[in-house]
Amino acid sequence: MTLTLNLPAADGTAAPYTLIGTPVERPSTPPIFNRIAYAAAHVVSAPFSDHDPWNRPAIDWDTTMAFRHHLWSLGFKIAEAMDTSQRGMGLGWIGAQELIRRSLAEAKTVEGADLACGVGTDHLAPADTRSIDDVIAAYETQLEYVEKFGGRGIMMASRALARVAVSADDYIKVYGRILSQAKDKVVLHWLGDMFDPQLAGYWGSKDFEQALDCVLNIISENRDKIEGIKISLLENSKEVALRDRLPQGVLCFTGDDFNYAELIEGDGKRHSHALLGIFDAVAPSASKALACLANGDAKTFRAVIEPTVPLSRKIFEAPTQYYKAGVVFLAWLNGHQSHFSLPAGMQSARGILHYADIFRLADQANVLDNPDLATRRMKNFAGIYGIE
């Protein structure tokens, strides 16, 4: 059956769009990958309970946990309580604690399920931070909480640290202290200021080479406590520069939502593993592609995953920090939640033209799992903007 709907264009008109995509089949059992693949998962808001969405957003825990089962069934590990779940942009530390506790408990009910949890300093307001010791104490609080429930940490970049640090030595001190206390290996997280403007100058410098030297120093001094590092700078040459200099046994996790396909495949010498927010939105396609790569079928890997890249670049376009809206939009279109709303009302951060482009690109990338449902929901959504 042909599916057609009217979608808006930049010139103020609306024109018919006919869907062409084919949904990706689901595996009967979780596939095996030859890349470690973390999907950074979003949380589902509870709009009927959301009396103060900007300050105290309500979370639909049952649907949030169901989405984690969806990701585990496709072979992914989960990066929990990360910026994809709106840490620091709607989900505060109190909500993150419940998310971490619930997800770690849920993982124990699923054979083979795995996850690591974001450890940051977001309960410490940058403006209230007076010293490096304040930052250390904040990281310690969150790491202790994660480990209390049996979790492993992903050491998220800290706005508070970026505010008070005066040199690379401050970063070396903070990271060395926290890593020395960790029970298990930790994933470091290099998040560029395109994702969070408050992280400008992280690692003690706005110069990439100087920042890279700081990171490598930290890794060299703490390599026994580091599983790997996620780098999210949206510039593949910078990721390759880091990847080529990592010591043996320390993994590079791509967080490059613009260039992940080529970085995961690698250059024949080295490759990146993955810790990606876009895998939340394109999970069936990413799962199929990674399974093909593990089976030595690089051609099918490229054929499946490369069409998702233009979609990802649209979702993560500037202002990049609002990418969460596009991720949740696709979760709604694909039936993983019954409504399109985000904690703190973040759905308003993007406009109808952005969402219409996401719809078209998702269809062309075969990412709409149920085209009929997606079309009905997109028609209703466009109707809010006067498009019949």
Rounded to an integer, what distance in angstroms lies between the CA atom of residue 31 and that of residue 78?
Answer: 15
Query: What pLDDT was estimated at residue 284?
Result: 98
* Residue whose entry in the numeric block shows the structure tokens 């709106």: 86
* HEC assignment per residue over 284-301: HHHHHHHHHHHCCCHHHH
Strand-pair partners of 274: 37, 254
Quick one: pLDDT at residue 62? 98
**Rounded Cα–Cα distance for residues 156 and 175 (Å):** 11
Instruction: Note the pLDDT of residue 253.
Output: 98
- pLDDT for 33 equals 98
Q: Measure the CA–CA gap between 334 and 311, rounded to whole angstroms.
A: 15
Question: Measured between alpha carbons, how far is 369 from 388 in angstroms, rounded to an integer?
Answer: 24
Q: How many helices (H) and strands (E) does the chain have?
A: 15, 10
Distance CA 323, CA 346 (A): 10
pLDDT score recorded for residue 361: 98
Q: Which of 380, 254, 296 is nearest to 34 (CA)?
A: 296
Q: Are 179 and 187 in contact (CB under 8 A)?
A: no
- One-letter amino acid for residue 283 of the chain: A
8-state DSSP, 320: G
Q: What is the pLDDT of residue 181?
A: 96
Whether the Cβ atoms of residue 175 and residue 222 lie closer than 8 Å to each other = yes
Closest CA to 89 of 325, 319, 343, 310: 343
**Low-confidence spans in the chain with pLDDT less than 70:** none
Pairing of strands 186-191, 273-276: unpaired
Q: What is the pLDDT of residue 54?
A: 85
Taking CA atoms, 300 is separated from 229, 303, 332, in Å, by 28, 5, 28
What would the pLDDT profile of 127-178 be if each residue is shown by its tens digit?
Answer: 999 999 999 999 999 999 999 999 999 999 999 999 999 999 999 999 999 9
Q: Would you state the pLDDT for residue 209?
A: 98
Element (H, E) at 128: none
**195 alpha carbon, distance to own chain's centre:** 11
- Could you give the CA distance from residue 290 to residue 295 in angstroms, rounded to a whole number? 9
Question: Residue 55: its pLDDT value, please?
Answer: 82
User: What is the separation of C-alpha 18 from the centre of its chain, rounded to a whole number of angstroms?
Assistant: 30
The rounded distance, in Å, linking the Cα atoms of 120 and 7 is 40
